């Protein structure tokens, strides 16, 4: 199989998978049926679970024995939480916390 054919097959496969995940809920549930309670429950619970997983993933490489590793991570998490409590805007809190952490790691520690 040539590289062009292989690339086209990959693109078509990814397009079909993306379209299926986007359109399948509307095809299965439709506009007339009520959303199942389990789906409503997942919609309420998953955002918090995903944020918890992201925090664990971001902090998994932090060495608790080195202050130069712990302090920027703790300050970054604190700044992110503080921004979120202040502005109630997820995008601002994530970007602000990331910028603060990167500045701390690159310039201070």
Residue 103 has a pLDDT of 94
Q: What is the DSSP letter of 32?
A: T
What mean pLDDT comes out for the span 86-91? 90
55 and 97 Cβ atoms separated by less than 8 Å:
no
Confidence of residue 108 (pLDDT cuts 50, 70, 90): confident
The values of phi and psi at residue 47, to 5°, are -55, -40
Residue 82 has a pLDDT of 95
84 and 90 Cβ atoms separated by less than 8 Å:
yes
101 and 76 Cβ atoms separated by less than 8 Å:
yes
- What are the tens digits of pLDDT across the range 41-69? 999 999 889 888 988 998 898 888 888 88
What mean pLDDT comes out for the span 23-47? 84
Across the chain, mean pLDDT equals 89
């Amino acid at each position: 199989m040539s590289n062009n054919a292989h690339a086209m097959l990959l693109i078509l496969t990814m397009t079909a998978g993306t379209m299926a995940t986007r359109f399948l809920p509307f095809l299965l549930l439709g506009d007339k049926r009520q959303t199942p309670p389990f789906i409503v429950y997942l919609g309420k619970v998953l955002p918090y679970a995903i944020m918890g997983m992201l925090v664990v993933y971001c902090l998994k490489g932090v060495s608790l024995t080195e202050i130069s590793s712990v302090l920027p991570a703790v300050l970054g998490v604190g700044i992110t939480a503080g921004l979120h409590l202040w502005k109630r805007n997820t995008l601002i809190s994530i970007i602000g916390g990331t910028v603060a952490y990167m500045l701390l790691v690159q310039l201070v520690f």
